[in-house]
Amino acid sequence: MIILRLDRVMADRKMSLNELSERVGVSNVNLSKIKTGKVSAVRFSTLDAICEALTCQPGDILEYQPGAPQD
């Protein structure tokens, strides 16, 4: 199972959802879904923009947990 850790990275960078939305060019609603893990896919272009805005690597946002149950 893939776990999304966007909330943790945003907290580490002290960046709000509104600020990230403005920097990335993605709506608050879509970023909120990513932040809460309520998505089944993330475009590479979106992931690229998020990583650029947060100065992080994709592995900081995505975590793999083997054997974890999926929703």
Does any domain span residue 20? Answer: yes
Quick check: is 48 in a domain?
A: yes
Give yes or no for a contact between 56 and 5, defined as CB atoms under 8 angstroms apart: no
State residue 33's pLDDT score: 93
pLDDT tens digits for 43-55?
A: 999 999 999 999 9
Q: What is the pTM of this model?
A: 0.87
Q: What is the CATH number of the domain that holds 22?
A: 1.10.260.40
Q: What is the DSSP letter of 14?
A: T
> pLDDT by residue (tens digit) across 6-64?
999 999 999 999 999 999 999 999 999 999 989 989 999 999 999 999 999 999 999 99
Specify the number of domains making up the chain.
1
Those residues whose C-beta lies under 8 Å from the C-beta of residue 37, and which sit 6 or more positions away, are 3, 4
- Find the domain containing 21 and state its range: 2-58
Residue 70 has pLDDT above 80, yes or no: no
DSSP E strands, the chain: 2-4, 62-64
